[in-house]
């Protein structure tokens, strides 16, 4: 969902900054527009500013500079409980002395809703996450996954248009986390709510989001749909942070149209798409995804670039084979091939030729 300007935005950050000490900015000049019904994920390492942005939107932190608007109205000076925003945290934040039903009824009670309406809404929200039969249990009697479902339904019970989620699946095991990713996405789509989701888990961000904002050092490094982020990273940080990535270092020899010729430090010459380079003589890091590299000659494109490689390690991972190679003087070059009956298994010590198309390879900042 593309947002052209703040006029179309349901949520907008306009030149927002945040400093805790008056000197160092945790969030630097943030401009971000989020559309109604969009699932936007703020992704980045610890300390990159993503959670601070979420907390400013929730009202638990105050922006040092700039304006945050919700549905066209400034909310900088509106207290959290009056913003009408649902929140889901990693630690669930359920009241231990209340039953599940009472936990969900609480936000409705605060809003002055009558008992019969409350009960109906509570049951509807619990059914949404398949927790209807647990209304009379206390949080301590539930598993971690069940508690997280209750926390999600509590955030949805008063039918907010915007729900904020801060690492909500961080405490769950891998299988349950993956299941909940799809569940949250389906619920959000079905209800048409806007979700702003914070995580440092890249696969979670790619799986769930309409768009992902990659944060580093208080700034958005790239804002794009998941496939664009993965296939067309704008800089070295995004390429390294999203998914697995091979890098080769070198110097740009020439740029003609949308192809750059790069001489690698090991002497080989390859062609690549110039992204963060503009002239000959510039140093660059060339980025290539492991699944874009071929070693089977029958699958190599006629115009593919080939390099010699030595197999160092061959690992069976069920659905794929992961092979580590020595390429252009580097020992950490990875290729991934799917586990298919006709797929050749490589042996450590074997010398092979690998190749890829120029358009699958990107010359980024050094």
CB-based contacts of 309: which residues, under 8 Å, 6+ apart? 295, 325, 326, 327, 333, 351, 352, 353, 354
Domain range annotation of the chain: 6-236, 244-365
> What's the DSSP call for residue 152?
H
End-to-end CA distance of the chain: 32
Cβ atoms within 10 A of the Cβ of 289, count?
22
Q: pLDDT exceeding 90 applies to what percent of the chain?
A: 58
- Which three-class secondary structure state does DSSP give residue 102? helix
Residues 35 and 195: their CA atoms lie apart, in Å, by 10
Query: What pLDDT is attached to residue 7?
Result: 54
Task: State the helix-helix crossing angle for 174-191 and 144-156, rounded to 10 degrees.
Answer: 20
- Per residue in 39-79, pLDDT (tens digit) is 999 999 999 999 999 999 999 999 999 999 999 999 999 99
Q: Mention the CATH class of domain 6-236.
A: alpha beta
Q: Which residue has the higher pLDDT, 191 or 194?
A: 194
Cβ–Cβ < 8 Å for 10, 70? yes
Q: Could you tell me which CATH number the domain at 244-365 has?
A: 2.40.50.100
Q: pLDDT exceeding 70 applies to what percent of the chain?
A: 97
Pairing of β 194-199 and β 211-216:
unpaired
Query: What pLDDT is attached to residue 68?
Result: 96
Residues 336 and 343: their CA atoms lie apart, in Å, by 11
Query: What pLDDT is attached to residue 148?
Result: 86
What are the Cα distances from residue 267, in Å, to 164, 253, 263, 271, 335?
50, 12, 6, 13, 21
Query: What pLDDT is attached to residue 3?
Result: 44
Query: What pLDDT is attached to residue 238?
Result: 94
Residue 1, pLDDT > 50, answer no
- Per residue in 86-126, pLDDT (tens digit) is 988 877 678 889 999 999 998 888 888 888 888 898 998 89
Chain centre distance of CA 220: 12
Residue 338, pLDDT > 50, answer yes
Domains 6-236 and 244-365 agree in fold: no
> What's the DSSP call for residue 74?
E
Residues 87 and 158: their CA atoms lie apart, in Å, by 11
- Per residue in 176-185, pLDDT (tens digit) is 888 889 989 9
Place of tokens 């601070």: 52
- Which three-class secondary structure state does DSSP give residue 241? helix
pTM, rounded to two decimals: 0.88
Q: Which residue has the higher pLDDT, 253 or 366?
A: 253
Cβ–Cβ < 8 Å for 191, 160? no
- Per residue in 198-257, pLDDT (tens digit) is 999 999 999 999 999 999 999 999 999 999 999 999 999 999 999 889 999 999 999 999
């Amino acid at each position: 969902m593309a947002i052209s300007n703040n006029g179309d935005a349901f949520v907008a950050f306009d030149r927002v900054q945040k400093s805790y000490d008056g000197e160092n900015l945790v969030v630097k000049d943030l401009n971000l527009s989020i559309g109604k019904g969009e699932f936007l994920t703020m992704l980045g390492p610890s300390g990159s500013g993503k959670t601070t942005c979420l907390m400013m939107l929730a009202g638990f932190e105050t922006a040092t500079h700039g304006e945050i608007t919700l549905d066209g109205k400034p909310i900088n000076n509106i207290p959290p409980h009056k913003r009408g925003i649902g929140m889901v945290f990693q630690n669930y934040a359920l009241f231990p002395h209340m039953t599940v039903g009472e936990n969900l009824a609480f936000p409705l009670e605060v809003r002055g809703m009558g008992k019969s309406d409350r009960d109906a809404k509570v049951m509807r929200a619990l059914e949404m996450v398949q927790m209807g039969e647990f209304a009379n249990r206390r949080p301590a009697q539930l598993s971690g996954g069940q508690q997280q479902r209750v926390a999600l339904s509590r955030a949805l019970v008063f039918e907010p248009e915007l729900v904020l989620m801060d690492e909500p699946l961080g405490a769950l095991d891998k299988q349950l986390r993956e299941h909940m990713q799809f569940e949250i996405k389906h619920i959000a789509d079905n209800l048409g709510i806007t979700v702003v989701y914070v995580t440092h888990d890249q696969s979670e961000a790619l799986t769930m989001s309409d768009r992902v904002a990659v944060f580093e050092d208080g700034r958005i490094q790239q804002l794009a749909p998941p496939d664009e982020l993965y296939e067309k990273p704008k800089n070295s940080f995004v390429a390294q942070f999203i998914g697995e990535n091979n890098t080769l270092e070198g110097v740009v020899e020439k740029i003609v149209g949308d192809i750059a010729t790069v001489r690698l430090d090991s002497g080989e010459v390859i062609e690549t798409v110039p992204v963060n380079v503009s002239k000959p003589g510039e140093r660059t890091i060339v980025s290539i995804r492991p699944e874009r590299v071929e070693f089977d000659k029958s699958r190599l494109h006629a115009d593919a670039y080939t390099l010699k490689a030595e197999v160092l390690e061959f690992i069976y991972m069920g659905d794929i084979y992961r092979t580590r190679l020595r390429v252009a003087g580097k020992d950490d070059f990875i290729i991934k091939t799917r586990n298919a009956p006709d797929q050749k298994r490589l042996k450590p010590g074997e010398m092979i030729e690998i190749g890829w198309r120029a358009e699958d390879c990107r010359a980024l900042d050094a």
